Structure 1
């Protein structure tokens, strides 16, 4: 499999009463696939995984893998502090037919952080399940993942193939990771809504994991850059950057849900407590910034 292009995280839609909107979930998947993406990630932080019960996780995993039905690869996020739970989630995803699992290192709250040895061992055990793994290096975990540790993991854990780097100074880390890891780093990816995409591509990233708001506008930047069309990619990035900046700095995971509600993809942009709804002015500016891009999300459901 070629790991390149744009692999967005899809949001989890809820009804206004906070219950899962399973039909809306199918529409989210269909809309995202219609954006021409290279893969889809579910149950990640931008899917509000920390607000979803274990039973709901199982329901969503099964629904998403079955509904996508091989149209694009599906990445299932399986992060948890307890290694047996992560392994169980990996096996469940594999049994359902998922293509990849994504996981952060073990952490719980601000103080319980996995050591290098604990992180390595958790990924090693998941690797034994026999499904490709994407490591997510995100500030949320608070776990330090130095390049030598990542290179060791890549070389010694056969199924660890993808690396989503979205820590501070991501481009510098990507550049060193690729230089030191060589062929063991099969898929160096950019994250964090593509707020650092251009620098990360310049550092050697082969793909990105954005939100599901405007991946149809972001994917061409990756394609152009990898094809050597540097000026075209830079111009394309300049075009979308105001929207990406507003999403990253002001809206977070609420952005894709709001855009999908406005575009008729889902009926509600509800987020479970304690997440507050977007301020009306913030939400209005989001649409103001993405409308000139004519993204599919604003037209798909109309």
Structure 2
């Protein structure tokens, strides 16, 4: 068993209806996620709307989350930035606040400014010198191609690069190749993308997944059954939740967790900052139709 395993969902960010941070709501999100059975929690990720937060808000949310979780589960703090000095500074801050892991994407800005393989290696190397475990997020959002030879080299040569979350196209094939080349250096092979390809990815060697917080407790059995060697039970659990995962992934995005938690009384508002539009009525109705038979914790936690 790899040291890092299980389900480590991304925390959504709660806003008041006027767009300000809802501190109480964000604490309730942490508590709900622990009650969901999360093996770890990730904050300030893309599904946390990190791209809509100021630096001061990022710092406040990090402190709030770590203080409220208080070591009950490990917490990953996302620190991605195009500027290496800023990524390093964010890593120092997360470590000082008590984060267990930091997560970062390859350096990019917009569609055209992308770090070269050498620059990507150097940025992760410098963050590694901070002395906190790193999860590399290989995600389509960056538009940066991180091939298996580069990732394997980084895993072998950057001591603190402990986890890799692969969610690019063909995740299972990439995971399999990466583990064959550098598996002894990877303490946490994870997938993401709400778990939409979770079975294939676990068959390929993933030991963990980073989903949204919409229905952590309902996806977790896929992971636990698979890790225990009961693939049939894992497949049955996966088939049960896949329609809801697909709808979330293709129709809702990060708004699904917020709408679910609002419906379940975890938070007061599903507000998203402009230019993100509210989730449409039809998409929300279909989400609830798919979730209710599953009875996820988030849909009833505050009722």
The TM-score, its normalising length taken from structure 2, stands at: 0.99
Instruction: Provide the alpha-carbon RMSD of the alignment.
Output: 0.7
Structure 2: distance between partners of 1:58 and 1:182: 34
> For residues 101 and 188 of structure 2, what CA distance do their matches in structure 1 show?
12
Match for residue 57 of structure 2? 56
Q: How big is the shift at 1:28?
A: 0.2
Matches within 5 A, 1:160-171: 160-171=161-172
What's 2:189 paired with? 188
Give how far 1:170 is off: 0.5
Unaligned runs of 5+ in 1: none
Give the equivalent residue in structure 1 for 2:101: 100
Q: Which residue number in structure 2 is paired with residue 228 of structure 1? A: 229
Counterparts of 1:55 and 1:151, CA distance in 2: 35
TM-fit CA distance, 1:72: 0.2
Give a deviation string over 1:47-79, Cα, whole Å, max 9, x none: 000000001000001111111000000000000
Deviations 1:193-252 (A, max 9, x none): 000101000100000000000010111110101111111100100000000000000000
- Which residue of 1 is the match for residue 19 of structure 2? 18
Residues 117-156 of structure 1 mapped to structure 2, 5 A cutoff: 117-156=118-157
Post-superposition shift, 1:2?
Answer: 2.4
Q: Name 1:295's counterpart in structure 2.
A: 296
Give 1:185 shift.
Answer: 1.5
CA distance in 2, matches of 1:55, 1:182: 38
CA–CA separation in structure 1 for the residues paired with 2:103 and 2:299:
29
1:41 is aligned to 42
User: Tell me, what secondary structure is at the counterpart of 1:178?
Assistant: helix
What is the alpha-carbon distance in structure 1 between the residues aligned to residue 115 and residue 105 of structure 2? 10
Query: 2:85 aligns to what?
Result: 84
Q: For residue 131 of structure 1, report the CA deviation from its aligned partner.
A: 0.2
Distance (whole Å) between structure 2 residues aligned to residue 182 and residue 6 of structure 1: 20
2:267 paired residue number: 266
Q: What secondary structure does 1:3 align onto?
A: coil
Deviation at 1:24, TM superposition (A): 0.3
Which whole-Å CA distance do the structure 2 matches of 1:211 and 1:77 have between them? 15
Distance (Å, rounded) in 2 between the aligned partners of 1:86 and 1:165: 20
- Following TM superposition, by how much is the alpha carbon of 1:186 offset from its aligned partner in structure 2, in angstroms? 1.4
Q: Give the SS at the match of 1:37.
A: coil
Residue in structure 2 matched with residue 245 of structure 1 by the alignment: 246
Once the two structures are superposed, residues 159-212 of structure 1 have per-residue CA deviations (whole angstroms, 9 ceiling, x without a partner) of 000000000000000000000112011111010000010100010000000000
Q: Could you state the TM-score of these two structures normalised by the residue count of structure 1?
A: 0.99
Q: Following the alignment from structure 1 to structure 2, what is the Cα–Cα distance between the partners of residues 201 and 182?
A: 14
Residue in 1 aligned with 2:75? Answer: 74
- Per-residue deviation at 1:284? 0.7
Q: What is the alpha-carbon distance in structure 2 between the residues aligned to residue 274 and residue 24 of structure 1?
A: 22
CA distance in 1, matches of 2:42, 2:79: 11
Structure 2 segments unaligned to the other structure (5+ residues): none
